[in-house]
A and B are shown apart, each in its own frame.
Chain A
Amino acid sequence: MIGEGSHSTNQRRHNYVQENVEVGFFTDPTVCIGCKACEVACKEWNQVPDDGFTWSGNSYDNTGHLGASTWRHVMFVEQDRRKGNQIVGSHSLGNGDGDPSAGASAKAEDPFRWVFLSDVCKHCEEAGCLEACPTGSIVRTEVGSVLVQNDVCNGCGYCVVSCPFGVIDRRPSPLPDAGGAFKCTFCYDRQKSGLVPACAKVCPTESIVFGRLDDLRAQAAKRVQQLQEAGYQDAQLYDPTETSVRGIHAFFLILGEPEAYGLPPKPQIPTIYLKSAWTSAFATAIAAVIATLCAFAFL
């Protein structure tokens, strides 16, 4: 939803940090134009190094995935499906200008769509990375975001396997600052001085909306409804509030299933596995001790 000029939360200065207001991102692919300005602005502001010049052949996406040197990532999903009531060539009209060698089936409706979605760290309500971090390098900020304090992180890599969304990663050498774990900072530095995160600020269509979490959630619910009424039957919100992650602060509207965007449909925070694992560990330990003691006591 494109905000109204200077009233837009993407443009306004704010005191969210000072006022301890929870903030978030609502990202809406139905207005994203795939310009990657968010990706570039993030790298510029945060001085994130380039991470290679490899052409992927995957549509227009040569970035691939979020990682230590990619904190914003715009996805380019090509699907044989319809986007709302969009007409793309005569394909959508059912008279098919498809391959005539395909015979009669080419006459059938042959939908196609190209969806862009700008992915980012989800700033989970229950964050796997934060819980896992043994150094306390990862903290929860006043605005509810999850922040890696880079001067504390010793690069143990445990957060990497603890994020259910595959966001945070350890930066390989020879890149600058190699060895540490990196991810989106939610532009905490900018926010502290009242500025909007760089990615949201530059987004020309306000596909990335920055604002108060409660406002955004309301706005998102309205938007989904509005889109569904406008023919986007597969529009849905991706915000896993029902799982142990208990919701994300950077949530997304998606068209179709989350899998197509590389998003786990039911992400869980790994701490829920602790109980059974520790139980097993205790049992094993005790059993080992008993077996050993028995061995020495009776043999």
Chain B
Amino acid sequence: MKAIPTHKATAVNARGYRNAMPNERRLDQLREEAGQKSVVTGRGVDVASGPIPRKSGYYGQPVVKPPVWTWEIPIYFFVGGLGGMSAVIALAAALSQHVDLAQTAMWVAAIAAILSPLLLILDLGRPRLFINMLRVFKPQSAMSMGAWILTGFGACVVLGLIAIELHVHQVFGGALDQLMRIVADVLMFGSAFFGMFLATYTGVLIGATAIPAWFLHRTLLPIHFGTAGLGSAAALLELLGHRIVALNFIGFYAVAIETALLIWLSMDKHGAADRAIHQHSSGWLIRIGEILSGPLAFILRFFALVPLAAISFLLGALVSRFGWIAAGKVSGSDPESVFAAERY
């Protein structure tokens, strides 16, 4: 069967811009069938209804480009948010003499600070050039700011943790130990400072793009990401055994805001422009995420099922990050959403 046209490059075409005929597999089936049974009476594949498909825009081709980001990015959003806010909790804990908690929170933050760049680098098209991120300092680029925030955060958290550990384990004595304490304090301040932005800037990162589902919710996104980060940090620390009222309060604070955001999101609809958030699998992901970290976590926490509430929140925060990236892909591939968004 050599005469059959072969399309060696369909794999290259993974991103699907070409608007390839939807059902290549069905065609292959027909091809097989033709070979075996000799005659194919059935029809080929419909592109769309009617002999000539009429799709919006230019043959339904995307007007803007959907994001190229893969699974690393939503996980990074989750990890970064969690880690950043952990540092905030660590600082508050330290200030209120919850040394244990502060130490754990710093550990969480430090692990996140190491994971985050790894995830980011993994997603780069050319990981070996990751250091070019620090070639420039560019306030108008959220990605550049993010890179610097993450760098600052990483430096403060890791060094801060070392200082804390040195101090806690009394490695040095006397003045040096005192210095360690001061250094640890300063670095914890730094960690918290960078951490609160690490958890929120990701909302800016995707909010200030050309993707309609994202930029239409640019105010909501940092609130969502930041709050989810805070809630996740509290939840994880609770799961790690720190069942204190303060964390529970933070938990309530986060689920309350997440619940409010869910309501906001379901009211603030922009029709075709952000339908990716309300329809498709991306819409479902976001909704499931929001319910898990909003109402459900609220109810669970209300009934003092703290570990369950914590798990629900963490899951929700993770799922919803995936949801938002998925929404970006759907929205970016949908020409109508771009046209519609320009009316807002």
Q: Does A295 contact B (CB under 8 A)?
A: yes
Q: Is B210 a contact of A162 with CB atoms below 8 Å?
A: yes
Binds A, one of B172-180, B196-204, B263-271, B302-310: B196-204
In the assembled complex, the CB of B206 is this many whole angstroms from the nearest CB of chain A, namely 7
- Provide the A273-295 mask, 1 if CB < 8 A to any CB of B, else 0: 11011111111111011011111
Given A54-B7, A292-B92, residue A285 in contact with residue B196 (CB < 8 A): yes
Q: Which of B218-267 contact A (CB under 8 A)?
A: 218-223, 225-227, 229-230, 244-247, 249-250, 253
**Quick check: is A96 within 8 A (CB to CB) of the other chain?**
no
Contact call B210/A179, Cβ cutoff below 8 A? no
- Are B338 and A273 in contact, CB atoms less than 8 angstroms apart? no
A65–B18 alpha-carbon span in the complex (Å): 7
Partner of B141, one of A65, A77, A133, A171: A133
**A152 contacts B by Cβ under 8 Å:** yes
Q: Are A281 and B249 in contact (CB under 8 A)?
A: no
What size tier do the contact residues of chain A reach? 35 or more
Given contacts A131-B140, A156-B124, contact A296 B96 (CB under 8 A): yes
Q: Which of B88, B133, B229 contacts A156 (CB 8 A)?
A: B133
Q: B249 touching A284 by the CB < 8 A rule?
A: no
Q: Pick from B63-71, B281-289, B311-319 the stretch touching chain A.
A: B63-71
Q: Which residues of the partner chain B approach A152 to less than 8 Å between Cβ atoms?
A: 129, 132, 135
Q: Are B126 and A179 in contact (CB under 8 A)?
A: yes
A137 to B123, CA, bound (A): 18
**B247 and A295 form a contact (CB under 8 A):** yes
The B interface is mostly helix, strand or loop, or mixed, namely helix
B223 neighbours in A (Cβ, 8 Å): 280, 283-284
A59 contacts which chain B residues (CB < 8 A)? 59
Query: Cβ of A268: which chain B residues have Cβ within 8 Å of it?
Result: 210, 342
Tell me whether B63 and A160 are in contact (CB under 8 A). no
Question: A229 at the A/B interface (Cβ < 8 Å)?
Answer: no
Per-residue CB contact flags for chain A residues 257-270 toward chain B (1 = under 8 Å, else 0) read 00111111111101
By beta carbon, the residue of chain B nearest A133 is B141
The answer, yes or no, to whether B4 is at the interface (CB within 8 Å) is no
What does the 1/0 interface line of B126-145 toward A look like (CB < 8 Å)?
Answer: 11111011011010111110
Give chain B residues whose Cβ lies under 8 Å from the Cβ of A174.
11-12
> Do residues B65 and A163 form an inter-chain contact, with CB atoms below 8 A?
yes
Q: Does A180 contact B (CB under 8 A)?
A: yes
A121 to B247, CA, bound (A): 51
What A residues does B205 contact at CB under 8 A? 158
A residues 123-174 with Cβ under 8 Å of B? 128, 131-137, 152-158, 160-172, 174
> CB distance B125 to A51 under 8 Å?
no
Cβ of A64 under 8 Å from chain B: yes
Contact A296 B210 (CB under 8 A): no
The residue from B66, B85, B328, B335 contacting A288, defined by CB atoms under 8 A apart: B85
Which of chain A's residues has its CB closest to B247's CB? A295
Pairwise interchain contact B136-A161, C-beta atoms closer than 8 A:
no
Partner of B125, one of A134, A157, A166, A259: A157
Q: Which of A33-49 contact B (CB under 8 A)?
A: none
Known: A137-B132, A284-B227, A291-B250. A261 touches B68 (CB 8 A): no
The answer, yes or no, to whether A93 is at the interface (CB within 8 Å) is no
How close is B162's CB to chain A, nearest CB, in angstroms? 23
Which chain B residues border A137 with CB–CB below 8 Å? Answer: 132
Interface size class of B (residues with CB under 8 A): 35 or more
B34 sits at the interface (CB 8 A) = no
Partner of B138, one of A67, A134, A156: A134
Decide yes or no whether A4 CB sits under 8 A from chain B. Answer: no
A299: which of B126, B226, B227, B245 is its contact (CB, 8 Å)? B245
* B-side contacts of A58, CB under 8 Å: 19, 59
Most-contacted residue by chain A among B12, B95, B197, B206 (CB, 10 A): B12
Given A51-B9, A64-B61, A134-B144, the answer on whether A157 and B68 have CB atoms closer than 8 Å is: yes
**A203–B93 alpha-carbon span in the complex (Å):** 69
B230:A274 contact, CB within 8 angstroms: no
State A285–B204 Cα separation when bound (angstroms).
Answer: 12
In the bound complex, residues from chain B placing their C-beta under 8 Å from that of A274 are 140, 142, 204, 208
The reply to whether A295 and B196 contact each other, CB–CB distance below 8 Å, is no
Q: CB distance B10 to A61 under 8 Å?
A: no
Out of A153, A172, A181, A289, which one reaches B192, CB within 8 Å? A289
**Interface presence of A218 (CB below 8 A):** no
**A293 and B92 form a contact (CB under 8 A):** yes
Q: A284-B226, A296-B95 are in contact. Are A157 and B18 (CB under 8 A)?
A: no
Verify if A2 is at the interface (C-beta below 8 Å from B). Answer: no
Q: Which residue of A lies closest to B333 (CB)?
A: A166
| Contact B92–A295 (Cβ < 8 Å) | yes
Convert A54-95 into 0s and 1s, putting 1 for each residue whose CB lies closer than 8 angstroms to a CB of B: 111111011011010000000101100000000000000000
Chain B residue contacts of A164, Cβ below 8 A: 64, 210
Could you list which residues of chain B lie within 8 angstroms of chain A, going by C-beta atoms? 7-15, 17-21, 47, 52-53, 56-59, 61-69, 85, 88-89, 92-93, 95-96, 98, 123-130, 132-133, 135-136, 138, 140-144, 146-147, 192, 196-197, 199-201, 203-211, 214-215, 218-223, 225-227, 229-230, 244-247, 249-250, 253, 328, 332, 335, 338-339, 342
Can you list 25 pairs linking A and B with CB atoms under 8 Å apart?
A53-B9, A54-B18, A77-B58, A132-B141, A132-B143, A132-B209, A133-B144, A134-B136, A153-B126, A156-B124, A157-B69, A160-B65, A161-B209, A163-B210, A166-B210, A166-B332, A264-B342, A270-B215, A273-B208, A277-B221, A280-B204, A281-B222, A282-B200, A292-B92, A292-B230
Nearest first, the 8 A-B pairs at minimum CB distance are A155-B125, A179-B125, A262-B58, A154-B129, A284-B226, A285-B196, A281-B222, A281-B200
Residues of A within 8 A of B (CB): 50-59, 61-62, 64-65, 67, 75, 77-78, 128, 131-137, 152-158, 160-172, 174-175, 178-181, 259-268, 270-271, 273-274, 276-286, 288-289, 291-297, 299
